[in-house]
Chain A
């Protein structure tokens, strides 16, 4: 009927209204805080994953499916050039680099470690290691038998910058090959597993060791993570049109760990949302049922004056909508303040399997506010439906008899 009558009804019993708003606000604040925390963790993992894989990679399906016999999946120079030409026409692209990954054994003295070598063009603009090097330097264009090793691997082998290690590998023809490599730098990474197993060397030298001019993938970086799906689809269309037997895969398709963690976060937030929803739903249901019961005579009066059941129902729902919106907004405000306080403290935590602590923080933005806000509003509104229906269906004469 009008927006202000339901609002006015809310202030009738200030204590009860404040209690209702506090319950909705508490649920929304908890939901917002946890969701903001999970989203921040998700974003950190996204950034880490993209720094490891690039936004997308282009390779033979045989490489992705691990169905190749030997090195059949390698992309020869002519195809590499063709792909580069296709990719360079994309606006959102910030870098491309060829890469060749292969297994090997790295030895120093009596210590041997199974490793996976990532060979790429040094000083490329896509997967730069500059920010990760903690000792020595990054690979340079002039490097030949040089290698960048992880901090954990260097510690395990007892080697450091300037030391020489021996790499044994199998060439693309199936022959054994071994070479001395000089460690020019030591890098750090969030994952200990990566630090132990992955080492970097110049692509041209790796191709000489493997006796090939091919690469196994092209790594592409984009200006934004959000553009990944769109660009991957566009690149795939171009590859298909050009008749190249290659497939573009996104960073999250390439990272099963990200998919597992992201799924875990979704389940965690889903459970929390359900718990908050149930809590808010039942408490508000109880509060509204009592509040509407106390107004039975008033409802009888407005019905006697000619208000229809539908109008009474809408008015009660409108009251609940005010409660829902005010409570959820208060919850977002409280959750935001809690999150800001938490971020200001700067609590550090080292997840299992990582070598460095990261700062725990809460994402406070429109995207993390919206789901908890909607949960608060939905729980409150749904809880109000039953008492609103019951109250609006009261018989007028019965309602008027209530003292």
Chain B
């Protein structure tokens, strides 16, 4: 990451746009509106925090803008390209190249070491081994886990696992990182370290961070704060 370090000259340039975005589910014959006609934009360099009560549609929103689910109506455009027009294979390519995902429960691959988990997205990109190794080493140093490279996920603490998950999300130098409750399983100190890491990467690499959280400790990191309630978005004021 250090090699690619750049200060955010592209800050403010539109990156992601959602128009009339909606998602409905059929539950026992009834139609449930998980997300209703949401309009949303994110520009490069944004650090957006989304919160809202359970079942309000936060995860559904994240799934749609991360291209792992398709909307029932409306569209998501990433750098001008509508995800509705992309095939499954192209969506996988989009996620691989442009999006980093951080899950609440880390979702590390248990049979791989910390370094291998971080290396995995680079394997998908078919980068040469030497480049993969140097980037993984640099990223592990950056998240402060250079000496934990060979450990398996079950040999790491919750905070260490989340930092590995962050490293995995950032190793491909994505333009957009989506984090679902990244501090939910961490103590406050570790949660703070993870958020600091995200903020630094946001500032230094111009990465768009969209963080869904209930954790009030995350709010101070937000440049924009958005609340979801009953499937609808409300832009808040950052204090």
User: Is A45 an interface position by the 8 A CB rule?
Assistant: no
In the bound complex, how far is the Cα of B123 from the Cα of A402, in angstroms?
A: 25
Given contacts A301-B109, A311-B124, contact A397 B88 (CB under 8 A): no
Give 7 new A-B contacts, CB below 8 A, not counting A301-B107, A305-B101, A306-B121: A1-B124, A8-B112, A298-B110, A304-B66, A395-B69, A397-B69, A400-B107
Which residues of B have CB within 8 Å of A301? 103, 107, 109
Separation in Å of the A397 CB from the closest CB of chain B? 4
Most B CB contacts (10 A, CB to CB) among A305, A306, A307, A397 go to A306
Which residues of B have CB within 8 Å of A9? 111
Residue of A with least CB distance to B121 = A305
Which residues of B have CB within 8 Å of A304? 66, 68, 95, 101, 107
User: Is B203 an interface position by the 8 A CB rule?
Assistant: no
User: Is B39 an interface position by the 8 A CB rule?
Assistant: no
Partner of A396, one of B69, B94, B97, B111: B69
Residue of B with least CB distance to A13 = B111
Separation in Å of the A301 CB from the closest CB of chain B? 4
A306 near B111 with CB under 8 A, answer: no
Interface residues on A, range: 20 to 34
Within 8 A of B (CB), among A305-334: 305-311
B residues neighboring A (CB under 8 Å): 63, 66, 68-69, 88-89, 92-97, 99, 101, 103, 107, 109-112, 120-121, 123-124, 168
In the bound complex, how far is the Cα of B90 from the Cα of A309, in angstroms?
A: 11
Most A CB contacts (10 A, CB to CB) among B101, B109, B111, B121 go to B111
In the bound complex, how far is the Cα of B120 from the Cα of A8, in angstroms?
A: 14
Which residues of B have CB within 8 Å of A8? 111-112
Partner of B68, one of A2, A11, A310, A397: A397
Which residues of A have CB within 8 Å of B96? 305-307
A–B Cβ pairs within 8 angstroms, 28 of them: A2-B123, A5-B111, A5-B112, A5-B123, A8-B111, A9-B111, A301-B103, A301-B107, A301-B109, A302-B109, A302-B120, A304-B68, A305-B95, A305-B96, A305-B120, A305-B121, A305-B124, A306-B92, A306-B99, A306-B124, A307-B124, A308-B88, A308-B93, A309-B92, A311-B124, A397-B63, A400-B68, A400-B107
In the bound complex, how far is the Cα of B95 from the Cα of A392, in angstroms?
A: 17
Given contacts A304-B95, A307-B124, A397-B68, contact A12 B107 (CB under 8 A): no
